[in-house]
Structure 1
Amino acid sequence: MQLKWLEWAKQIQAVCQAGLAYSKDIYDLERFEQLRKLSIEILNEYTEVEVEKIKSLFANESGYPTPKVDIRGVVFKDDKILLVKERVDGAWAMPGGWADIGLSPKEVAVKEVKEESGLDVRPVRLLGIIDKKFHDHPPSALHVYKIFILCEITGGEPAAGIETIQVDFFKKDNLPNLSADRNTEKQIKALFEIRNKNTEVLLD
């Protein structure tokens, strides 16, 4: 679901971030700061999130603006998929998180699966790269690309981590309450199909 006001606020913020990074004119810098403030006010008005929190999450970066990257390890056992119960919202998701500087996408997938589920895995192949704005996630101030990497279990034992409270495997037609900000039912079912039929990757 795309909300026009949210997309406009994100685009204004991106223009301001680039302008503040590369402009040398003091008057242009002042205008970019005013526009950035306006983008924060738009988000505050429609989301009721505190201004200071919006500043820290949405308008605190410098340099050329680029999307954030979220990487998910997709792990199957027979006809079930691995999900972890998130401590922050009590809902379920494929193990994963933000890409880390210095690590490749495959390395991030392996690290996140181990930290959140206790399982050792080997990355096998790419299942999808999607733009979060085209999917039925809750509105987000960040522009996010999501990468899904198929992984194979090589060892370890299921165990919750710092950010998770439970680990389990679920059939496609018996999924638990999902953490919608992290993954959707439609995405998970599509990943089952790609894995089973070896079809093309998800790509927006």
Structure 2
Amino acid sequence: MAHHPFGVVCYTKFIMDSKNLYDFLIKVQSIAKIGLLYTNDPYAKKNYLEIEKMTLSLLEDLQGVNLERNNYFKRDIYPTPNISVRAIIFNEKGQILMVQEQEDGGFSLPGGWADLYESPTEAVIKEAVEEAGAKIKIVGIVAFLHRTPFKIPASVPEYVLVFKAEFLEFVGEHDHEIISVQWVDPLKLPPLSRKVTKFEIERMIDAALNDKTIFD
């Protein structure tokens, strides 16, 4: 007996809706976990915890499994490095765009942690807008480096992807974690944030200036 086309359409829609719901819940779960990690507000922490529990419950119902056992959400079972992205953004004068961090007043390259479901280029383009208010065009990859040995304290194990980019235009304000955005001579850097080291930054900039790709 032939399948009714309507039934096939409904089943396909169910599968797609389930996939979209799963992706949405994973994203919300990720936001909740990041919030729990970084917030110091007890009220916000309570809300993030509730969101984490709610999404976990919905994911269990959707997949018919118990996510309290060893799984993706228990990353300490098989720890892996976190991935961050940074952009070396050049203007027509050969200057690079740097952001001044609210945390310590020092400067660093625009960037941050890559989020779930983002490609590396999507992540760095988004970070450039959020941190520097800058719309950019990716030119190429400059570096894929192991940052952990340079971090003080060595907190979260980290790999960083560094991209060379062209500045297009400013499209908005930088976010609250940034004091200011400045164009600087790549060979005359301002005081750096504690988040980065002079050795790292100079190595990345040298690679960008000489069209090299470096890696660890």
**TM-score normalised by the shorter chain: which range applies?**
0.5 to 0.7
- Residues 95 and 117 in structure 1, CA contact (< 8 A), matched pair in contact too: yes
Aligned length: 142
Corresponding residue number in structure 1 for 2:35: none
**Deviation of 1:89 (Å):** 2.0
Query: Does 2:182 align with 1:173?
Result: no
**Deviation of 1:122 (Å):** 1.6
**Deviation of 1:76 (Å):** 1.4
Per-residue CA deviation, residues 162-203 of structure 1 (Å, 9 max, x unaligned), is 22110001113321111132x32223222332222222x121
What is the TM-score with the length of structure 2 in the denominator? 0.60
Corresponding residue number in structure 1 for 2:197: 184
Percent identity between the aligned chains? 28
Corresponding residue number in structure 2 for 1:203: 215
Higher Rg = 2
Moved over 6 A (4+): none
| Equivalent runs, 1:139-154 vs 2, <5 Å | 139-154=153-168
Amino acid of the structure 2 residue aligned with 1:203:
F
Corresponding residue number in structure 2 for 1:28: none
- Residues 81 and 171 in structure 1, CA contact (< 8 A), matched pair in contact too: yes
- Residues 74 and 150 in structure 1, CA contact (< 8 A), matched pair in contact too: yes
Corresponding residue number in structure 1 for 2:8: none
SS at match of 2:144: strand
Distance 1:79 1:185 in 2: 20
What stretches of structure 1 of length at least 5 have no aligned partner? 1-59
- Residues 158 and 167 in structure 1, CA contact (< 8 A), matched pair in contact too: no
Per-residue CA deviation, residues 105-146 of structure 1 (Å, 9 max, x unaligned), is 1001000000011110121211001111344x3231221111
Larger RCO (CA within 8 A; separation ≥ 6): 1
Per-residue CA deviation, residues 13-56 of structure 1 (Å, 9 max, x unaligned), is xxxxxxxxxxxxxxxxxxxxxxxxxxxxxxxxxxxxxxxxxxxx
Corresponding residue number in structure 2 for 1:53: none
Relative distance call for 1:158 and 1:192 in structure 2 (3 A) is farther
Query: Does 2:90 align with 1:76?
Result: yes
Corresponding residue number in structure 2 for 1:86: 101
SS at match of 2:187: coil
- Residues 159 and 166 in structure 1, CA contact (< 8 A), matched pair in contact too: no
Query: Does 2:142 align with 1:127?
Result: yes
| Equivalent runs, 1:60-75 vs 2, <5 Å | 61-75=75-89
Aligned pair partner of 1:96 in 93, 99, 111:
111
